[in-house]
Amino acid sequence: LWAAALAAAIVLLLVGGTVIGPDADDTSRRPHLLLAVVMMTVAALTKNEGLLYTAAALAAGAGSLWVAVEGDDTVWRIDPSASTVLIRVGDAPVAVAYGAGAVWTANNEDGTVSRIDPRTEDVTSIDVGGAPSGIAVVGGEVWVAVEAP
């Protein structure tokens, strides 16, 4: 079932979809929004050792969708033209962002940020302390929200 939902989400990304805005006559093409809703609720579920995990966060960049899966400490790289790759990052990735030439995760349980090179899928860990809970890339700079220990 989740594989079918994932396929539907990828089709939405590729062909687009319509979302009704606040005004009933206001429609706009927002395929990423539809994809995010589908991915976060259904498709980004993984079975690992008999447990079910859900997506913690989603980002798009470098021709792929990047899904942070908190329960198994991975980021899924979903490329519509290739197979899905699971990439190990720090403990409990709760947020993901794309920018400045990389994919970034905020890893809540080990106080780190992971930098994933989208070309090689190499991961670099950066200690930021506390409990990172959010991440964004703005103007080529990476910003991290950190909860006090």
The helix-helix angle for 31-38 and 2-15 (nearest 10°) equals 170
Specify the pLDDT at position 17.
41
Specify the pLDDT at position 76.
92
Specify the pLDDT at position 15.
46
Specify the pLDDT at position 79.
85
Q: Report the sign of the C-alpha dihedral through residues 44, 39, 97, 60, in that order.
A: positive
d(C-alpha 36, C-alpha 10), whole Å: 10
Specify the pLDDT at position 84.
84
pLDDT beneath 50: ranges in the chain: 1-2, 4, 12, 15-49
